[in-house]
Structure 1
């Protein structure tokens, strides 16, 4: 009944509104877009009917030209297709805005996973004390990355933000004006954004969404669970930041860029404090208090606009304590609540706003270490083990200077380490306290970073940094336990850990793990790795924190995030929930206050519920564990067979949009690792890899191998075991539902024409057969009759979005087919493919 009521609400406040505003949208005087709104339904109908009949996109688009337009030349056809793309892009923004505006009406404070629901349950089950006990040191941290999955330029994001507000008020005049602005605003960046541009784009959300969201959520948590003898610690909600610090594969992120981004973060939070203080002073106009707050305002102003860089969070708090004392002793404590709210924000955000991380690839570090040993030591690098190189650099009191080296990467690596101290002085230690190492496989990968700090002049006591290994391949995950055990046994690292309060953060890469091992295998391997790392850390008296590198869609570790964390049993350390949020997941899941508050709550309660409330479905029995392991291996075998097919990479390269990701000006980072024209599987980055499957509407990384694995057990007469596993294991159920979400966003009729392709026909059939099998097997074990059956609102949203972009998919595939046959103007056709990427990704939101 709840689902039916919510679906009806969705129809009223989203679907109906979209129809109304879309009709308004169709009549707007857009440049060069006259009558496109009238033509679009014809292209949609030709596409929908044509694909079901097995027609190719080329046949469908040509038939559309012939039956519904008067265009004849190739130039006219392509001009019309560009106009359609531009129109659909704007329809997507309109639907996004309407759906975002409806968020509060579709969710309630008493929903599962909210703070209010947690409080009610804790009271009913007499677990309030247990929840408070868990809250003493538990935290949720969301880390924003600059990975290029967001195709809205900043100007469009601002319109989206304003359009949502106008829709909330049903202000037709304002909506009309904003839609006109949207029609005349370019959707394409003329130039590739710099890392600083990317940072500023996300800082916009920090300033105008998260400052209030987290402040209000903290207040709500205090009201629900705080008491006279229990105070919620200020780090319960944390923000992390990668743009400007993530050097992995991005040569444009320099040490100077990192300093600039750190400065922007500091300046931005001070601006928030300065503006917030204006509101505060309007109420706290009392003698004594007013003068103290004026001094604080002047000091903030000087730091923001005169670059004084002298104010610290401690200084701000000192002013506030003085003001509070006067307020309570001389003015009856009037408006103390708003002063306390302001003080809480300062405690939460300090002078850093979000913690800026540094990330670099372990292979770069090894290159730097080798060069340092060669230059400063008399020994020959070739004759030394990596461990011996580290020991030389740590023990011989070497001081490395960036200018001693010609190689840019060595200079930049050393500078970035040297700059940590300066950033910590200005932004506080919370402003930068982590160094993340991609592709970590060995102890030396971690110790190399410690050695870099030593040769850059840091004494042991001054290395106020957490060194975080990132295990992201099947091999890396398999080695993780031994690597961490050896690290915990290392005397030098032991001393460093003691200084870091025996807390070790370990990052796990879902995106690359899925690309490497397939969906089921990657998720199980990460789960099992977390168990092993939890055990080895506990045995060494180390508090381990897992940091998950998750993307938006299931194929990159996303999907139902709350259910995923709520499903992890007591064998996995649950000290903190920490994950990356990237691209359009920022705007679609954390893009406004209502959504952000709701999703922060969901993460927090997932971690607390997991420990406080008993549920046998969270803990795997040995039988269930063995069964998942078996399914994971069977699925992995199937996925590896696909990966090793000689047509795997050529299929993506020739049939999909893979090679066009690098031609979009959406991110500063190159779209593949390695140089040269030859494309290798290991060079593929997870985002364009998953995104390309998504553009084909095949979503292979989200399901491939799952169906084969279940079918094998069914053939052995063991299907009931898998059904029981789905019913009794929250973890397995979450994996199945996420995989079904990936399949729901697939649309194989788009590529039915591939059945008879001379080169790729058989390969396409392998993909399609596994899709059909996976769907059939999942229906059998779940008892569902449709994908996303338990989420009718989500399913409806996907359906509307898919309808909006179906013509866009036709245009993209049409252009790709022309390119494959070397027909038409190559430059124009490539632009059609690239431009189609934008609307497809934005409409799918979490499917790329």
Structure 2
């Protein structure tokens, strides 16, 4: 399969990728077999993954779940690596523009819009992408396991080098076997729940040790694409480092239902991020110093450079280290300068005086850059200084901005306690005040700069927690400025007072600035709209908030460089889906973004949407460039934030090639989408007129199913939700409030999705869609045909239905039946299983009709990745079902010791299945 010129086609490259997966996986499985033999696990050798030999149900060896889990981990790693290899081969054969979502294709798309270089730059200046790393309990692997994975990946890459001798390849194989031996003996699951600091250390690894190198590659990719498109490089350089990339974190700041995130934890998190930033910049300056070997005997040393070297020599505390630098590099002043800067940063991590802001460090870097330019060394500036300055812009002295998130109900309790302590009439009942009374009080109070109480006054648990946390931010601002401080996010925002109440609490804590016009909040107060009802009310809430005088003053105070004022709005993809099902939730999110965008445009305020997406389709996941293409016209103003949760961080960013690829998708996708929304006319979505009826019918079917008597009993017995509630995956509780009982509303969306996924129902990602499509087809046959014809022209609806199709393909009817056998009440079992199977088959049939063919025919790569996993997964699922029976029997008979002894095996099975499915919650 070649083109007329004899080059491989896309189809040939895809088949080569399949062959490469099989070949590389075979090599690693051979090494795993050797590792098992050397560790004495010979009883497992006949049942190696993908060997074609499966144990009979109930007679599998003890270590089989771990064996299959490692097998899936190897497969996942191989697929990631092969994807990178095939992208590289495709670029060689078909050209860089053949890869959708990356810079070469993106710049081609920008030019195809008729934009000249200046107009392209104007778009890029407004693009700022910020992935936000979160610690939601969706990562089932321990850090030790991921460290072994990184070592294994490095060896796998080395093995690709074609010129190694047989002896060198033998050594690589020996190292791989050794790593796999260690991996086999490394505990795979958490026996105790990880604490927040371990989660933070994991995030810091990516921020400090991986993303900086990815930024170098990203810049090179963008520069090459810009130049290859014939655009002037000097024009690009004059614009600075655009588009902008930065990072955020919720770890240590997300307090919503997480009692362990105390003010002390937040303070230590900020400190840890700051010290990690110092370590990163110290490392980069040391690397720079090694390149700055210009001799004073060959290059004239400017007076200002020598003066700054002398000044730094006296400012750095460790005299011996300074003397060593000056003596060792006596002939190399630029190297002396960079080494002294690095030493000053190193001392800062030890609590000694140093740079008090990233701007001061940047000034010293500018001095090096300017004096090198004067010496005619422009290439050194381009290749060494500019990348470091770019990292300083991205990471500063904070590494990532730390958001604070808290629930509106918690804030209500805090304000009630504050008002009661201040003697405000009926203040203790603030939570019960109607909205009119709240707004009258808040508007009056926010005209005054004075707090209610002295800052040392202790008020009540909720008030103390909020105010002490805000005071952590106050202290940070005094020492380091606002860099590193993110937004104040209010989950479950339901009315204007939920936002203004945060201003009141910020005033009380001193987290306000007093200007001639009045109080100003230096941080964005951000609504988080989550449930379907909240999404539908969101435009009115945002409208009132944007028009509030304090919000206007605060927004204007944060606006820089003459840009349009901006407002961040967060959208929750989890609770809306849990609340009303995938179709209604996606339509509600789309409808809300359209209306919220209009609210911002009417006030000339740029809305930056913060997408709270999860790791599964049920919680908003999906291919990045498809997701951006599906956004409503005008919703992308340049700013784009999104959560990166749990296992998605590992899947996207575990190695440099993958991290670079996924970050490039985000940046290039944001740029093209912004340009299209800005420079193209909105085109009506031909599927829009069907969405209301489809969403309504889908929601009705979904909610009717969940509200059917006996549903909780079926759900808790047919899925491993009870085992998940006993897992030690993340630091956060599975339930929001910790209340007893089994309400769906109190259960977090993550374990809700995780449990359905483990039992292979994938129910939140498709249930109700078939009923909605069937209703349309039966009541309006012509409309159904019109929908079918219009589907490919609707980026939004085709994206949603493609994701639904993926969930259906990942589900398994036979395994649904097997898990349903765990439901003791036969009538309940048959009633719910029958409805699930009916909806599943209905949805599958109607989607195939809409797409004119099965998923397997249209998406062979997806079919391949599902098929290769199914046989070992089937063994693991049946083993898990047996373990669930035993464990629940022990629990029911109050045999606590026996239940506790069995739990690690059950959790290992959960972990193994999660590895195979490449998803948790």
* More moved, 224-233 vs 458-467: 224-233
Q: Deviations over 1:85-140 (max 9, x none)?
A: 22222222222222233232122452011102222444566534343221121122
Q: 2:644 aligns with which of 577, 581, 598?
A: 581
Q: 2:12 aligns with which of 2, 5, 12?
A: 5
1:489 aligns with 2:489: no
Partner of 2:836: 767
Partner of 1:694: 757
1:203 aligns with 2:204: yes
1:369 aligns with 2:415: yes
Cα contact 2:493–2:529 (8 A) shared by 1: yes
Q: 1:738 aligns with which of 787, 799, 803?
A: 803
1:228 aligns with 2:297: no
Q: 1:405 aligns with which of 458, 480, 485?
A: 458
* More moved, 356-365 vs 235-244: 235-244
DSSP 3-state at the match of 2:192: coil
CA distance in 1, matches of 2:870, 2:50: 16
Partner of 2:163: none
CA distance in 1, matches of 2:109, 2:770: 38
CA distance in 1, matches of 2:481, 2:918: 35
CA distance in 2, matches of 1:32, 1:272: 43
Q: Map of 1:676-695 to 2, 5 A cutoff?
A: 676-695=739-758
Q: Deviations over 1:468-502 (max 9, x none)?
A: 00000011111101111111232232222222333
CA distance in 2, matches of 1:464, 1:406: 25
Partner of 2:442: 390
**Cα distance, 1:460–1:517 mapped onto 2, change above 3 Å:** farther
CA shift, 1:368, in A, is 0.3
1:154 aligns with 2:154: no
1:724 aligns with 2:724: no
CA distance in 1, matches of 2:84, 2:869: 20
**Cα distance, 1:724–1:263 mapped onto 2, change above 3 Å:** same
CA shift, 1:248, in A, is 0.7
**Cα distance, 1:378–1:121 mapped onto 2, change above 3 Å:** closer
Which entry has the higher C-alpha Rg, 1 or 2?
A: 2
CA distance in 1, matches of 2:799, 2:266: 38
Partner of 1:77: none
CA shift, 1:573, in A, is 4.1
Q: Deviations over 1:221-278 (max 9, x none)?
A: 3454474334244561121111111011111111111111111111112211111222
**Cα distance, 1:534–1:439 mapped onto 2, change above 3 Å:** same
DSSP 3-state at the match of 2:737: coil
Q: Map of 1:126-525 to 2, 5 A cutoff?
A: 126-129=114-117, 130-170=119-159, 171-225=172-226, 227-230=233-236, 231-233=239-241, 236-286=244-294, 287-308=332-353, 310-330=355-375, 332-333=377-378, 335-337=380-382, 338-381=384-427, 382=429, 385-391=437-443, 393-395=445-447, 397-400=450-453, 403-405=456-458, 407-426=460-479, 428-457=481-510, 458-461=512-515, 463-501=521-559, 502-525=565-588
TM-score when scaled to structure 1? 0.91
CA distance in 2, matches of 1:555, 1:721: 27
Partner of 1:835: 908
Partner of 1:570: 633
**Cα distance, 1:218–1:451 mapped onto 2, change above 3 Å:** farther
* More moved, 818-827 vs 460-469: 818-827
Partner of 1:73: none
Cα contact 1:619–1:729 (8 A) shared by 2: no
**Cα distance, 1:578–1:605 mapped onto 2, change above 3 Å:** same
CA shift, 1:847, in A, is 5.5
Cα contact 2:289–2:338 (8 A) shared by 1: yes
CA distance in 2, matches of 1:455, 1:10: 60
CA shift, 1:659, in A, is 1.9
CA shift, 1:530, in A, is 0.5
CA distance in 2, matches of 1:429, 1:223: 34
CA RMSD of aligned residues (A): 2.6
CA distance in 1, matches of 2:838, 2:887: 27
Q: 2:772 aligns with which of 669, 692, 709?
A: 709
Cα contact 2:189–2:907 (8 A) shared by 1: no
DSSP 3-state at the match of 2:260: coil
CA shift, 1:26, in A, is 2.1
CA distance in 2, matches of 1:96, 1:617: 39
Cα contact 2:106–2:669 (8 A) shared by 1: no
State the number of aligned residues. 819
* More moved, 645-654 vs 361-370: 645-654
Partner of 1:27: 34
Q: Map of 1:792-811 to 2, 5 A cutoff?
A: 792-811=860-879
CA shift, 1:815, in A, is 1.8
Partner of 1:662: 725
Cα contact 2:102–2:665 (8 A) shared by 1: yes
CA distance in 2, matches of 1:308, 1:90: 48
CA distance in 2, matches of 1:642, 1:309: 62
Q: Deviations over 1:396-451 (max 9, x none)?
A: 52244565336333222111111113334555423013111110001011111111
CA distance in 1, matches of 2:715, 2:680: 39
CA shift, 1:776, in A, is 0.6
CA distance in 1, matches of 2:917, 2:643: 19
DSSP 3-state at the match of 1:544: strand
Cα contact 1:488–1:494 (8 A) shared by 2: yes
1:817 aligns with 2:825: no
Cα contact 2:49–2:68 (8 A) shared by 1: no
Q: Deviations over 1:153-186 (max 9, x none)?
A: 0111111111111111123122111111101111
1:36 aligns with 2:44: yes
Q: Deviations over 1:557-588 (max 9, x none)?
A: 00223201112242434332221111110011
1:103 aligns with 2:83: yes
**Cα distance, 1:459–1:609 mapped onto 2, change above 3 Å:** closer
**Cα distance, 1:307–1:184 mapped onto 2, change above 3 Å:** farther
